[in-house]
Amino acid sequence: MPFRSPLFRRLLISAFLPLAVALAALDFYLTQFVGKYERGRIEQQLASEARILAGEMSSVPSDSLRLWAADAGRRAAARITFIDPKGTVLADSAVLPETLGNHAARPEVSAALSGKTGFAIRRSDTMDAELSYFAMPVAYGRPGYVLRLAVPGHELRTSVGEVWSRILIASGVAALIALALAFVFTRSFTRRVRRLRAFAESLPSQNIDTEFLPDGNDELGALAKSLKRMAAEMRDLVDRLSLESNRREAILASMAEGVLAVDATMRVTFCNDSFAHAVGVETPVPERLPVLELVRDPGFIDLLTRVMVTGETVRERMQLAAADGRWFDVQCAPLAPTTRRGAIAILHDVTDIERLERVRRDFVANVSHELRTPLTAIRGYAETLLDGAIDDQENNVKFLEKIRANAIRLNNIASDLLVLSELESGRLAGDPEPVDVREAVEAAMRTAESEARVLGVTLHTGELASAEVMGYRIRLEQALLNLISNGVKFNRPGGQVAVAVRRESGNVIITVEDTGIGIPSEDLPRIFERFYRVDKTRSREVGGTGLGLSIVKHAVERMNGTVEVESQLGKGSRFTVTLPAVETGD
Amino acid sequence: MDAVTPEFEPLQMRLLEMGGLVEAAIHASVGALTARDESQAQAVLRNEARINQLEVQIDRLALDLLAGPQAKGENLRFLTAAIKINSDLERMGDLAVNIVERALSLIRQPAVKPLIDIPQMAKLAESMVRRSLDAFVRRDPEMAHSVLLSDDAVDDLRDGIYKELVQFMHDDPATISRALDLIFVARNLERIADHATNIAEDVVFLIKGVDVRHHGASGADKK
């Protein structure tokens, strides 16, 4: 309904109301004017009739005045009254003069008595009707008499009423036409405004429909045109922005680092795939998910809260239980400048770096510890000997042997470290050459044999395929010796160590399997680290330097091979060395 | 992850916050022992007050909600589960403190033996706690079942540890007090695992409305 629109109502009223007021005013004025004009006309008519009658009357004798009055009244179609200077009615065409009182007070009569003509429209008590009276002074023998004419007032009323009703009809019709025009114009105007509004409201949305926009050459049309232009610009801007934000989101999403943004209420506003993957949830993560439902680690939650409170960027290394205990460098920054404050955390997985750092820390600690232990022993025994034990025939040789054993140990460590650094730095003596694997295995077995016999461990050889690899004979032999020797040392009396060589799709695979004590699964990833010992006490008892497996790993890697280990606690371990074979042509 | 009824969200958030603190406490308590790191032990003792405070808050919140108009149907199950999980978490926090006390005494003395089984047991117990809470957050009955299935493995590890340590005490009476401490640690870890199992059972009840208590893992396996 158009009437419900306030704009429509206002426009309609403002268009129609002035017209209605103007018409009403015109009506009133015209009615007044016509009334006045009619009054004047009647007065004039009565005046001219009165003047004629006054002429006639002067020659009428006084006794026949009543007859004359009745006759003149009939001729003039008016009531005629003749009044003497005292106001007494002498003759009247309508009633007997005796029934009438003194007329001197009647306005028209009193005007005539004072020598002027009088005109009045008023109710006549005598006739019980509205009459128009005209009175004029006349001379009847002597001056001072009054002749009065009266015609019924409805003549005036009728003519005025007729004029009035026509004007009314005309202005009614005009008002109706005006109303209809105003209605039509206003409706179309408000409709156009409504369309403009609908269009402006639809601007932020993507599908902008310009089809129903009003046109035309007026201001509304111009407004529509500017809106259209604005819409196009806005769409351009939105497109550019969304492209930009898509690009950024794509960059964030494809980052290897985990990215998590939270708002001030600790709800997720953005979470990339890397982060979701790290904490083991499926993507996409629901919008506005409380961050606690992703990560419960108090350290992480505290970090986010702290950054939001202080507004400072913080970098921290932490282990996240939510990410299976992996280590992260977490860089956390406030999300500024936004009205709803939040924070963004970028998680860089440093589990491997952390492990390497731990290796390095352990190495420094271990190397000093490993060197100090034999040195302390040597110093202790030397001091004891100097303090007089040198003369103790029972023990002096034993002490010297201890010193020698520890010196040998130091020497072993030093040479193992040298080998390792040589392997690591890649400065190996000479170029790689073909090495017969079977010969290397046999040489290593021979070297380990005496130790195996002492510990009651049997050495077995399985299938020994003949094969050649490119490398360094001495390093391969040493690596194999270290593996076999470990199998022997970490074994139990009556145990076995089996070595086998086989060829498989261009590779030479050497396995060293023992029936020893095995390695706990959590230690497996670290056994190739320098000085890493699963069982520190036992390792030292059996005279290891803690560098054996480290040398194996580096030696094999120098020959482009790999070494793997499987182990079962209490059952034994199997080391598998895989080296690329040299095609010998047989 | 289904959204919680909005009125219940603060309750769930506090429970998760508490869960995070308890998980961290368990991790640090064993870390203090294996890495011989007193600072981790102190951190556990520092956080205990916060855990207890949260327990009280959670109880109050849950009771208020229980008296409210929403406490019916699934919501009622959620509230009862929340109250039970709350008390399980609080007990786990206490157990972590117990472990820390033993650890503080152990790391001031030489090691009886290299710790192999206890870290393994701790790892398994931690994973059970984590999975039980993840199952709660994600309303994931499969994950809750996986917790129930791990309980036996924890018991086996504990039995192995008992046997080994008894042997140590038998061979060398000097190790008795330290070995006993280790046995207590193992015992506390096993109880932590039990509480994780309770939480997993509550989660299954919360999701399915099925009571899986007192049937063991095999009962829980049937769907």
CA distance B16 to chain A (A): 6
CB contact under 8 A, A293 and B137: yes
Residue A26: give its domain's CATH number.
3.30.450.20
| A177 found inside a domain | yes
Chain B residues with CB-CB distance to A301 below 8 A: 17, 20
Cα separation, A343 vs A325, in Å, equals 23
A381 and A483 part of one domain: no
| A250 found inside a domain | no
A407 and A517 part of one domain: no
| A585 found inside a domain | no
Q: Please state whether beta strands A268-271 and A79-83 pair in parallel, antiparallel, or not at all (unpaired).
A: unpaired
Q: How many CB pairs under 8 A join A and B?
A: 56
ipTM entry: 0.86
**With 70 as the cut, is the pLDDT of residue A213 above it?**
no
A197 and A50 part of one domain: yes
Cα separation, A323 vs A295, in Å, equals 8
CB contact under 8 A, B114 and A296: no
Q: What is the pLDDT of residue A366?
A: 74
- Binned at pLDDT 50, 70 and 90, residue B214 comes out as low
CB contact under 8 A, B17 and A298: yes
Which residue do the tokens 């556990």 mark?
B44
Q: A520 CB near a chain B CB, below 8 Å?
A: yes
Structural tokens at position B219: 């009962």
**With 60 as the cut, is the pLDDT of residue A369 above it?**
yes
- Binned at pLDDT 50, 70 and 90, residue B191 comes out as very high
CB contact under 8 A, A296 and B17: yes
Q: Which of B1, B17, B27 sits opposite A289 (nearest CB)?
A: B1
Helix (H, G, I), strand (E, B) or coil at A282: coil
Q: Which of A286, A290, A535 sits opposite B114 (nearest CB)?
A: A535
Q: A282 CB near a chain B CB, below 8 Å?
A: no
pLDDT tens figures, B33-81? 988 889 999 999 999 999 999 999 999 999 999 888 887 788 888 899 9
| A117 found inside a domain | yes
| A267 found inside a domain | yes
A372 and A317 part of one domain: no
A220 and A104 part of one domain: no
Q: For residue B212, give the amino acid letter.
A: V
Cα separation, B156 vs B18, in Å, equals 29
A343 and A467 part of one domain: no
Domain boundary among A371, A398, A420: A420
pLDDT tens figures, A322-344? 888 899 999 999 886 654 678 99
Written in H, E and C, the secondary structure of chain B is CCCCCHHHHHHHHHHHHHHHHHHHHHHHHHHHHHCCCHHHHHHHHHHHHHHHHHHHHHHHHHHHHHCCCCCCCHHHHHHHHHHHHHHHHHHHHHHHHHHHHHHHHHCCCCCCCCCCHHHHHHHHHHHHHHHHHHHHHHCCHHHHHHHHHHHHHHHHHHHHHHHHHHHHHHHCHHHHHHHHHHHHHHHHHHHHHHHHHHHHHHHHHHHHCCCCCCCHHHHHHCC
CA distance B65 to chain A (A): 20
Q: B111 CB near a chain A CB, below 8 Å?
A: no
Taking a contact as any Cβ pair under 8 Å apart, which residues of chain A between 305 and 324 contact chain B? Answer: 321-322
Q: B24 CB near a chain A CB, below 8 Å?
A: yes
A270 and A327 part of one domain: yes
Q: A297 CB near a chain B CB, below 8 Å?
A: yes
Structural domain containing residue A236: 210-245
Which residue do the tokens 């010297």 mark?
A400
Q: How many domains does chain A have?
A: 5
Least confident segment among A121-125, A448-452, B3-7: B3-7
Q: Please state whether beta strands A129-140 and A433-436 pair in parallel, antiparallel, or not at all (unpaired).
A: unpaired
Q: B133 CB near a chain A CB, below 8 Å?
A: yes
CB contact under 8 A, A522 and B19: no
Q: What is the pLDDT of residue A150?
A: 86
| A76 found inside a domain | yes
CA distance A286 to chain B (A): 8
Chain B residues with CB-CB distance to A321 below 8 A: 20, 23-24, 27, 126, 130
pLDDT tens figures, A539-566? 666 667 788 888 899 889 888 899 999 8
Q: A277 CB near a chain B CB, below 8 Å?
A: no
Chain B residues with CB-CB distance to A519 below 8 A: none
A338 and A369 part of one domain: no
Cα separation, A5 vs B83, in Å, equals 57
CB contact under 8 A, B17 and A290: no
CA distance A469 to chain B (A): 38
A299 and A361 part of one domain: no
A545 and A524 part of one domain: yes
Structural tokens at position A208: 């902008």
Q: B25 CB near a chain A CB, below 8 Å?
A: no
Q: What is the pLDDT of residue B89?
A: 96
| A273 found inside a domain | yes
Least confident segment among A43-47, A217-221, A262-266: A217-221
Residue A489: give its domain's CATH number.
3.30.565.10
Domain boundary among A219, A245, A271: A245
CB contact under 8 A, A293 and B21: no
| A586 found inside a domain | no
Q: A525 CB near a chain B CB, below 8 Å?
A: no
Q: Please state whether beta strands A314-320 and A258-263 pair in parallel, antiparallel, or not at all (unpaired).
A: unpaired
- Determine the distance from the C-alpha atom of residue A44 to the mean position of all C-alpha atoms in its chain, rounded to a whole number: 89
Residue of B nearest to A520 (CA): B116
A412 and A549 part of one domain: no
Q: Which of A292, A299, A536 sits opposite B16 (nearest CB)?
A: A292
Could you give the dihedral angle defined by the CA atoms of residues A16, A17, A20 and A25, in that order, rounded to the nearest 10 degrees? -150
**With 50 as the cut, is the pLDDT of residue A486 above it?**
yes
Contacts made by residues A352-359, CB under 8 angstroms, sequence distance 24+: A353/A327, A354/A317, A354/A327, A355/A525, A359/A526, A359/A529, A359/A530, A359/A532
A556 and A443 part of one domain: yes
